[in-house]
Structure 1
Amino acid sequence: MEQKTSKVVVSALLAGAFGAVACHASRTCRYLPGDAGWPSQAAWHQLNNTVGGRLIAGTPLGRPCFEPDLNAAECAAIKAEWTDLHPFIADPVNVMSPYWMNNSCDPFYGPSGTCKLGSLAVYAINVTNAQDAVAGVRFASANNIRLTIKNTGHDYLGRSSGAGSLALWTHNLKDITFLDYRSADYTGPAARLGAGVEGTDLGPVAAAHGYRVLGGSCPTVGVAGGFTQGGGHSPLSAKYGLGADQVLEWEVVTADGVHTTASASQNPALYWALRGGGAGNYAVVLSMTVKAHPDGPAAGAGFLIVNDDDDKFWAAVAAWLKHLLVLDTLDGYMTAFTITALDFALDFALLPDAASVDDITAPLAPFFAELDELKVTLAQSRASVSANYADWYETWAAPITYSTNNSIGGRLISRSAVQDRLPALVAVFRDIAEYSAAEVGGSALKGLAFNVTSARVGSAALPGADAVLPAWRDALFTLNFLIPLAEDADWETINSGQAWINDKQDELRAVTPGGGTYMNQATWDNPNWKEDYFGSNYKALFAIKAAYDPEDLFWADAAVGSDVAWVRAADGRLCRPEANT
């Protein structure tokens, strides 16, 4: 019943969407430090008092590597950890993407030179409660400064940073509560997760309560942040759907500084938009309540194929992609794989509730038989059964390492692309994999295959049920590909890599017509971003954005409404498009 209400609200909003967006504030640009309108130190001091002393000045991680703040010991430690995720996750303003750090105080460029904040936030509020977020929203709005939201900083679209911004740092909202949930649409076990909860926080707690709750493949991804708000793929997606499909309600602070709830019965349009319509663009999320699923055993499997003959190797890759069409029919069966020019690895397969190793290996047997026909030998193969999902995760997913120093692009690969255009698809894969920069090694393609159609995961995946990009329901797997970057990669190298990724996204688009891209693993400057990241949902999302944020307090590249709200000027400030004409 609430689903029908949401559609009515969305339809009503569409009628006045474009008129609403025209009602901008009179000020044409956001202020930067040094402007006459920038808040005084007394104003910042008052904000700090309001949030209980939790206002933090933004500081680049690499600053101790530059004069006049040079500290050799600290600098050495920073350099040693520069490609690790954790220093960025634990910092209120620094982010993982080299592009959005834009060489701000790269520690390998010191000790001479200039160390500036660049696109990093000037201040951050360590948000510990709703009142902190309300204060930050109202301060940014009243003082005409940019507002950003950072949780972990797993972000390639630049949503977690911004020149001259005040950041709401939600990383320390770590509460996890299990409850019995009742509504017109769902009655059963649920979990309320603070915005800062990461997968590594969630898994053991859920297991201790006898449940599985969806989180990302990477353990440090914030579950309630861009992960779920952007759609959210999980090893459990083939069993239960995407992260956005799980959400029962959101706790939010809206652009007018109101602390409220968005659910199927309260603020239903906002509830709909947050479930897949993109993060940091409609409201500040403080927590979300999601379905919890009964736990049980889980089986895993993996293998490795080494490329010792190009023709045979790529024939094996083609055979795998074709075999995914078979695995796609099996309830709960998912796979995660990596392809480079050197090897092809099944990083892990998951089959929840499997009783034995045979349950997960038997579906792979036909593929192994085809490898024999191709005279391709497995270099490694393994399988196991874990007592519960958390144990499976620690065995199979958690050991995979992730680096900050890369640029990334992606595409959803439809079933029809594999069925009808397999040779062309494999040719693009090979082109991407064989790209290499001698100093950093070749690029890698990473795929995750799972069935998230409504036939598999139920009514949550029906057309229009949430704001998830519709192409997800036609996808056989999601693909991302990345270029590793050297620790001291210069700005020209980072920019040229970004351009190369966009070119390859175009090649993939040509062999996957009508498809899309998982927005959380994509480029900010893709000229087709509206179609690729939002599809047919864009118009409805635009109306909801206009209704809940008419003065565009929230803004990010490649976000709904971003192209008509603000543009970045040469100095990094946000200005109205008409101010740049």
Structure 2
Amino acid sequence: MVQTFPQVLLWLVGLALTQEVHTVKASSCKVLPEDEEWPTPAEWEQFNVTVGGRLLGPVIPLSAPCHDNPSGLGSYDADECSKITASWHSTELHIHHPTSILYPLFSNNSCLHSTDRFSPCTRGYYPIYVVNISTPDQISATVSFAKAKNVRLNIKNTGHDFLGRSTGRGSLSIWTTHLKSIELIDSYAGETEYTGHAVKFGAGVSVLDLLEATDKADKMILGGAQRSVGVGGGFLAAGGHSPLSSRFGLAVDSVLEFDIVLANGSFVTATQKSYPDIFWAVRGGGGSTFGVVTSWTLRTFDTMPTTTIRMKFNASNEENYWKAVSTFLEITPNMGDQGVYSFVVLRNQVMHITALYGPNLTVAELDQLLNPFLERLHSDAIKYTKKSLHVTSFFPAFYETNAVTKAGWDAAMASRLIPRDVVENNLDSLVSELKKLSTFANGEPRVIYLMSFNPICTVEPNLCDNSVNPVWRKSVTHVVANLPQSRNMTMSDIKRRARLHVLDDFQPMRDLTPGSGAYMNEASDFEPDFQEAFYGVNYGRLYEIKQKYDPTGVFYATQAVGSENWTESDGVLCSNDGVEVKVD
């Protein structure tokens, strides 16, 4: 349930009566509800008028109905709790709640659904107030209010985020998920050389919806590998790899223009000629950093016949299992060169090729590319299941092959982009490191994801000058290693395990790939030297642009450009010249 303004004053009184240990902050820290500087109920109400009644809050955490709690966050409701519990792993449940996110670890696991109605439920790192955005003017007003009142600002689109960028303790959230417009453009006429078919869409449009809309015009776009991801959120801003990346590059290579609200509240259209520095920076420099994008315009591509293959096997012999993994990796550069994209999951000596996409390839042609791998399985007598599909356009191939994302789980994630040179010339070492990563220190299995592609920008050379880390163009595989985390663990134990996983166990993978990096959308908030890993040689220029347009850090996000100017401790955000002291 979302509270409305008659409840605000009552909530604030309850908050004052239930404060525990808190942080005393210098003026350079963002204010929290327990601070004297926090906006009054009257100020929040006036702000609500300014944004046309679109303010929600104080927002109650999604799972509050599963708890009896004296903090004023809600009361136990058995029926509502049952619905939440039954749908906890549904992405739609979290996407359509104002503050919930798909991975609750980043809210400090503060209010999880529970069978124990007396278990704690606090707001944790969830935002307090949310503006349900419908117009750019509302974003401008929200930015102005947050600056004037020194309130932390954050942006949530769909909540697909592995760095916790769409949540923040004591924050005012800009919620863009309801910006759902889609406009098909027969002949684009903008400030670029491209004049063909395009599509303009709101920031909240999902991969599935945009692919379906463009398919009706016999077109397609580069969307993410998961159907519920918001195309116009962090996906595009970080580059965006796609099942079509081996044919057409990264998703951001197709951006023709975008509309954005900047830190000074101005609403502008960025193109190669208008705000060219912002146009460059946002296309690869990460979300929640330079402003709030309200809509994007992408060039589209003619749809094409597509073949997909799904395979799975369980190898009882460990040596044969890793030989099969090695053979598959060995053929991925050639498959990428032929336009193929693959998504593979490794766990407990099970190899699951969840999707092998062959745009403009027949079943026979894709089988031929896969043949060395199939021969390896046959030679080692490994039994497998294999399902092929060939359709006349890309969208049904994506729809039938792509699984629905599972939400409501937590894992420590570590990742690395693997250069072609390593796969072609040092494959044994790569497979050896993957084998070591397959289990944790206590024998607990990790889950390893291998996404293979050839994301060269060649389709629109004039759009290739963007801020994507250049190591992408040399990479043929993206390795992600996940260590599952239990909700029954303490947060200190969760963080300890994450540090061990990311900083210690995954370091040999970094050592194997010097000068490479990681994809910020699928990485860890413990990633060392994030400036080099996420942004590479572009970081210096990105930082300069950040300081030009947002010198006071209105837009802050974990490991975003300029985030080193801030320190976050227990969710309290302070600029680096601030002082914070823990007191009772």
Same fold (TM over 0.5): yes
Distance 2:438 2:160 in 1: 24
Distance 1:393 1:403 in 2: 24
Distance 1:377 1:41 in 2: 66
Q: CA RMSD in A?
A: 1.9
Distance 1:474 1:232 in 2: 16
SS in structure 1 of the partner of residue 506 of structure 2: helix
1:17 maps to: none
Q: Does 1:151 align with 2:157?
A: yes
The alpha-carbon deviation at position 287 of structure 1 amounts to 0.6
SS in structure 2 of the partner of residue 108 of structure 1: coil
Aligned residue pair count: 546
8 Å contact kept, 1:460–1:466: no
Distance 1:368 1:402 in 2: 33
8 Å contact kept, 1:409–1:480: yes
The alpha-carbon deviation at position 238 of structure 1 amounts to 0.9
Counterpart of 2:104 (choices 98, 103, 115) is: 98
Counterpart of 2:179 (choices 173, 176, 192) is: 173
Q: Does 1:162 align with 2:168?
A: yes
SS in structure 2 of the partner of residue 192 of structure 1: strand
Counterpart of 2:409 (choices 393, 404, 408) is: 404
* Counterparts of residues 554-565 of structure 1 (less than 5 Å): 554-564=555-565
The alpha-carbon deviation at position 361 of structure 1 amounts to 1.4
- After superposition, the Cα gap between the structure-2 partners of 1:329 and 1:525, relative to the gap in structure 1 and judged at 3 Å, is same
2:23 maps to: none
8 Å contact kept, 1:316–1:376: no
* Counterparts of residues 216-227 of structure 1 (less than 5 Å): 216-227=224-235
Which consecutive unaligned segments of at least 5 residues does structure 2 have? Answer: 1-25, 70-74
SS in structure 2 of the partner of residue 178 of structure 1: strand
The alpha-carbon deviation at position 372 of structure 1 amounts to 3.1
8 Å contact kept, 1:318–1:426: yes
Q: Does 1:259 align with 2:267?
A: yes
The alpha-carbon deviation at position 353 of structure 1 amounts to 2.3
Q: Does 1:485 align with 2:492?
A: no
Distance 2:383 2:573 in 1: 53
The alpha-carbon deviation at position 160 of structure 1 amounts to 0.4
Q: Does 1:444 align with 2:447?
A: yes
SS in structure 2 of the partner of residue 445 of structure 1: strand
1:43 maps to: 43
1:280 maps to: 288
1:248 maps to: 256
Q: 1:171-221 CA distances to partner (integer Å, 9 max, x unpaired)?
A: 000111111213433111111110000112112111111110111111111
8 Å contact kept, 1:83–1:487: no
SS in structure 2 of the partner of residue 188 of structure 1: coil
Task: Please identify, of 477-486 and 247-256, the stretch whose mean Cα deviation from structure 2 is larger.
Answer: 477-486
Q: Does 1:62 align with 2:63?
A: yes
The alpha-carbon deviation at position 476 of structure 1 amounts to 0.8
Q: Does 1:424 align with 2:429?
A: yes
Counterpart of 2:358 (choices 351, 355, 361) is: 351
1:381 maps to: 386
2:367 maps to: 361
Which consecutive unaligned segments of at least 5 residues does structure 1 have? Answer: 1-25
Task: Please identify, of 427-436 and 169-178, the stretch whose mean Cα deviation from structure 2 is larger.
Answer: 427-436
1:526 maps to: 527
1:474 maps to: 474
What TM-score do you get using the length of structure 2 for normalisation? 0.90
The alpha-carbon deviation at position 42 of structure 1 amounts to 0.8
2:220 maps to: 212
8 Å contact kept, 1:250–1:287: yes
2:579 maps to: 580
The alpha-carbon deviation at position 27 of structure 1 amounts to 4.2
- AA in 1 matched with 2:500: W
- After superposition, the Cα gap between the structure-2 partners of 1:149 and 1:187, relative to the gap in structure 1 and judged at 3 Å, is same
- AA in 1 matched with 2:99: V
Q: Does 1:290 align with 2:298?
A: yes
8 Å contact kept, 1:452–1:461: no
- After superposition, the Cα gap between the structure-2 partners of 1:423 and 1:63, relative to the gap in structure 1 and judged at 3 Å, is same
Distance 2:115 2:466 in 1: 46
2:551 maps to: 550
The alpha-carbon deviation at position 489 of structure 1 amounts to 4.2
Distance 1:551 1:101 in 2: 25
8 Å contact kept, 1:452–1:473: yes
Counterpart of 1:202 (choices 184, 190, 210) is: 210
The alpha-carbon deviation at position 400 of structure 1 amounts to 6.6
1:324 maps to: 332
Distance 1:168 1:470 in 2: 31
The alpha-carbon deviation at position 232 of structure 1 amounts to 0.4
2:6 maps to: none
- After superposition, the Cα gap between the structure-2 partners of 1:400 and 1:29, relative to the gap in structure 1 and judged at 3 Å, is closer
Q: Percent identity?
A: 32
- After superposition, the Cα gap between the structure-2 partners of 1:206 and 1:215, relative to the gap in structure 1 and judged at 3 Å, is same
- AA in 1 matched with 2:494: I
The alpha-carbon deviation at position 505 of structure 1 amounts to 3.1
Counterpart of 1:337 (choices 338, 344, 349) is: 344
8 Å contact kept, 1:469–1:533: yes
The alpha-carbon deviation at position 433 of structure 1 amounts to 1.6
Q: 1:142-178 CA distances to partner (integer Å, 9 max, x unpaired)?
A: 1111110000111111210111110000000011111
Distance 2:522 2:42 in 1: 41
SS in structure 1 of the partner of residue 188 of structure 2: strand
The alpha-carbon deviation at position 65 of structure 1 amounts to 1.6
The alpha-carbon deviation at position 86 of structure 1 amounts to 1.9
8 Å contact kept, 1:361–1:383: no
Q: Which runs of 4+ in 1 moved over 4 A?
A: 399-403
8 Å contact kept, 2:246–2:453: yes
- After superposition, the Cα gap between the structure-2 partners of 1:98 and 1:490, relative to the gap in structure 1 and judged at 3 Å, is farther
The alpha-carbon deviation at position 66 of structure 1 amounts to 1.6
8 Å contact kept, 2:414–2:527: no
Counterpart of 1:394 (choices 390, 399, 405) is: 399
The alpha-carbon deviation at position 260 of structure 1 amounts to 0.8
8 Å contact kept, 1:99–1:407: no
The alpha-carbon deviation at position 301 of structure 1 amounts to 1.1
Distance 2:300 2:60 in 1: 39
Task: Please identify, of 134-143 and 496-505, the stretch whose mean Cα deviation from structure 2 is larger.
Answer: 496-505
* Counterparts of residues 85-124 of structure 1 (less than 5 Å): 85-108=91-114, 110-124=116-130
- After superposition, the Cα gap between the structure-2 partners of 1:261 and 1:131, relative to the gap in structure 1 and judged at 3 Å, is same
Q: 1:35-56 CA distances to partner (integer Å, 9 max, x unpaired)?
A: 1111111111011112221111
SS in structure 1 of the partner of residue 100 of structure 2: coil
Task: Please identify, of 100-109 and 513-522, the stretch whose mean Cα deviation from structure 2 is larger.
Answer: 100-109
SS in structure 2 of the partner of residue 181 of structure 1: coil
Task: Please identify, of 483-492 and 137-146, the stretch whose mean Cα deviation from structure 2 is larger.
Answer: 483-492
2:498 maps to: 498
Distance 1:35 1:110 in 2: 32
- AA in 1 matched with 2:183: T
Distance 1:515 1:305 in 2: 31
1:234 maps to: 242
- After superposition, the Cα gap between the structure-2 partners of 1:403 and 1:29, relative to the gap in structure 1 and judged at 3 Å, is closer
The alpha-carbon deviation at position 482 of structure 1 amounts to 1.6
Distance 2:569 2:445 in 1: 35
The alpha-carbon deviation at position 498 of structure 1 amounts to 1.7
Q: 1:395-436 CA distances to partner (integer Å, 9 max, x unpaired)?
A: 111457566333322111111111232222112111222338
The alpha-carbon deviation at position 333 of structure 1 amounts to 1.5
Distance 1:234 1:351 in 2: 12
- AA in 1 matched with 2:461: S
Task: Please identify, of 338-347 and 429-438, the stretch whose mean Cα deviation from structure 2 is larger.
Answer: 429-438
